[in-house]
Amino acid sequence: MIKLFFQQPITYLLVPCLGITAGFLSSCTTDVSREVSPLVASTPTPTVQQTANQSDRSLTPTAEDNNFVVAVVEKVEPAVVQINTSRTVTTQAPQLPGGLNDPFLRRFFGEAVPTQPQERVVRGLGSGFVIDPNGRILTNAHVVNNADTVTVSFSDGRTVQGKVLGNDPVSDVAVVQIPGNNLPTVEIANSDSVRPGQWAIAIGNPLGLQQTVTVGVISAINRSLNLSTRPASYIQTDAAINPGNSGGPLLNARGQVIGINTAIIQGAEGIGFAIPIDTAQRISQQLISKGKVEYPYLGIEMLALTPEIKQRLNNSPNTNIHIQADQGILIARVVPRSPADRAGLRAGDVIQRINNQPVTKADEILQILQNSGIGKNLPIEVQRNGQTLQLTVRPEPLPSPTNTQP
C-alpha cells in the first residue's frame, strides 16, 4: 500500500498542493502480489454530458424493497470496472563483503544467497469507470503507474486488455483505453454543486470484492491535503473506502459521478477522499489531447498570515523581517532560479493581491494560477517591511521533483 504523509499547514508551490492536518494517508489501491487470506464462512476528447446537480433527490421514491441506493447501483454498476495490473520488478543481487562466493558466507547461507538479479511480478488491483461508449475509462494514476499489463473486468464477467493513454501523478488521474463500442457509461454531475450532508455512494473493488457498494454522506468539500504531489480541493466522505476502491466513482443520490475515490487516512474510519469530477475531467482531456498535464509553477513556499506568526516574526532577533499587514499570504521560502525569484519576490513578503484579486488563503492563489495558465504575466502586490510593492511574475511549467531544489 502506498503511504503518503500529511504535513503541518505550510503550503508549497513547488508543486500545486496544500496541507491542513496530520496523520498517515494511504492511496486506496491494493497490492495483490502477496496472497490474501480467503474469507472464512462467514484523438478526440471524450464528450460527456454534464448535468447540473440542482437537487439531491433520489431516482425513485424510497420504498421497503427498492430505495434510491438500489436504483443508483442498477444504473451505474454496468459502467464500473475492476482494473488488475502487473509489472515485473528486478531485484539486484546483494553486495556483500568478500563477494557472494565467499566460503564463510556459503557456510552459513548455502545456496540461499542469490548470485544473479531476481525478477518477481507485482500485481495490483483498483477500480475505474467508463466515461465514453468507445472505451475510455477514468481511474487513479497510482492504480496503473508503471504497469506492464492492464486488465479490465466488467460486472457481467467480460474481461479485456487495456492500454494506459496517459497518467498524471500530480492529480492522480489516469485514462485507460479498452476496445469496444456502445459500452455503458456513467453520468457526470457538476461537482461544484456538491454540499456537505448530501448522500454519497461508492462503488468499487475493495480487496478484490467486485462491485462492492458503500453508502454515507459528503463530510466536507474543498479539503486540502498536503501530499507533496497533489493539488487541493478534495471531497471528503464517510462512505467506506478501502484498498482496491482507488479509481472508483463517488456518486450522488441521482447516480451521477461527483468524484474519483483516491485516498484514505490509514488507521481511521469514515475518512476518505475523492478527486472532484470536474478536476478529473479537465486533467483527462489534457492527457488524451496532449499526453501530459502542465501545472503553473511559481517556486514559493507559503502559509496564511496569522497574528501568532506575525508576532513571532516581528519579535524574532534572527530575522530582519517586519510585518505590518494583518492578513495575506506569507512567503516562507523562494526557490532559487524560479519564476518567483526572477520576479524579485523574497521570503517574508506578504502577498496581498495576485492578478488584481485579493488573496487571504493559499488555495486562492492556486486557483488563480490554474485559471491563468502558463506563460502569462501576472501582477502581484506584496507588502515588504511595511512598504507596498507591485511586481510581475510569469508562471512556468512545474519542473520535475529533481529540478525544484537549488
Residues annotated as catalytic (active site), given as ranges: 142, 172, 246
The residues, ordered by sequence, that sit 6+ positions from 160 with a Cβ below 8 Å of its Cβ are 151, 152, 178, 179, 180
d(CA 343, CA 380): 9
End-to-end, the C-alpha distance of the chain in Å comes to 32
Q: Give dist(CA 180, CA 191) in Å, integer.
A: 28
CA distances in angstroms from 194 to 56, 129, 140, 201, listed in the order given: 9, 20, 21, 13
Contact 125, 208 (CB under 8 A): yes
Q: Which three cell numbers stand for residue 46?
A: 471524450
Rg (CA), the chain: 24
348's grid cell: 517574508
Helix ranges (H only) for 90-144 are 103-109, 141-144
Rounded-to-5 percentages of helix, strand, coil across the chain:
20, 35, 45
Closest CA to 234 of 2, 4, 1: 4
The residues that bridge with 332 in the sheet, in sequence order, are: none
The answer to whether residues 266 and 26 touch, using CB atoms and an 8 Å cutoff, is yes
Cell of 198: 448530501
Whose cell is 511586481? That residue is 391
Listing DSSP states for 150-177 in one string gives EEEE-TTS-EEEEEEEEEETTTTEEEEE
Torsion, Cα of 374, 278, 229, 266 (10° steps): 170
Element (H, E) at 68: helix 68-76
- Give the SS3 label for residue 362: helix
Task: Specify which residues 89 forms β-bridges with.
Answer: 120
